[in-house]
Amino acid sequence: MSEQAAAAPHVKKPGWFTVNVLNRSIAWLTDRGLSVWGSRVLAVRGRKSGEWRRTPVNVLTLDDERYLVAPRGHVQWTYNMRVAGGGRLLLGKRVEEFTATEVGDDDKPAVLRAYLKRWKAEVGVFFDGVGPDSSEQELRAIAPKHPVFRIDRAPGKR
């Protein structure tokens, strides 16, 4: 387990509406090939079972790089990603295999700012009052709580 994961505070669980309505609706649309503001279904192998686990995610593009941000903190898909080193992004029948590199806390503020600028209405509650207009210092303070992965297409994959 990384130092970041070891220092993880209590994870904020999503509410009933998010789990039963929002996530399921976005996953349903994404399964049918309709992206909602960059939504994809992330598939990553479980670190213990080896079985594919799926969860809806928002893919952020910033300066020609793509990122996955964990707004709810250190959750199952982040632990699995650290072990697997990549996974698949699904949009309808399209499957994109990728590799993932975890971003260090010092490099997260610009990514977190851009993520919050785009999706604050959806995920802002998980960022302890920090938003896209917060100071660099405030973004650095929350960085350890929110894993970020830079994703790249897997070599030889389209």
Q: How far apart are CA 35 and CA 121, in angstroms?
A: 17
> Tokens 């990553």 correspond to what residue?
44
Topology of domain 13-153 in CATH is Pnp Oxidase; Chain A (2.30.110)
Reported as a single tens digit per residue, the pLDDT across 109-138 is 999 999 999 999 888 889 999 999 999 999
Which stretches within 51-156 are classed as H helix? 76-84, 109-123, 136-142
Name the percent of the chain lying above pLDDT 90: 62
Reported as a single tens digit per residue, the pLDDT across 67-89 is 999 999 999 999 999 999 999 99
Give the mean pLDDT of the chain: 86
For 61-85, letters b (16+ CB in 10 Å) and e give eeeeebbbbbbbbbbebbbbbbebe
Predicted TM-score (pTM) of this structure:
0.82
CB 66 within 8 A of CB 58: no
Domain residue spans of the chain: 13-153
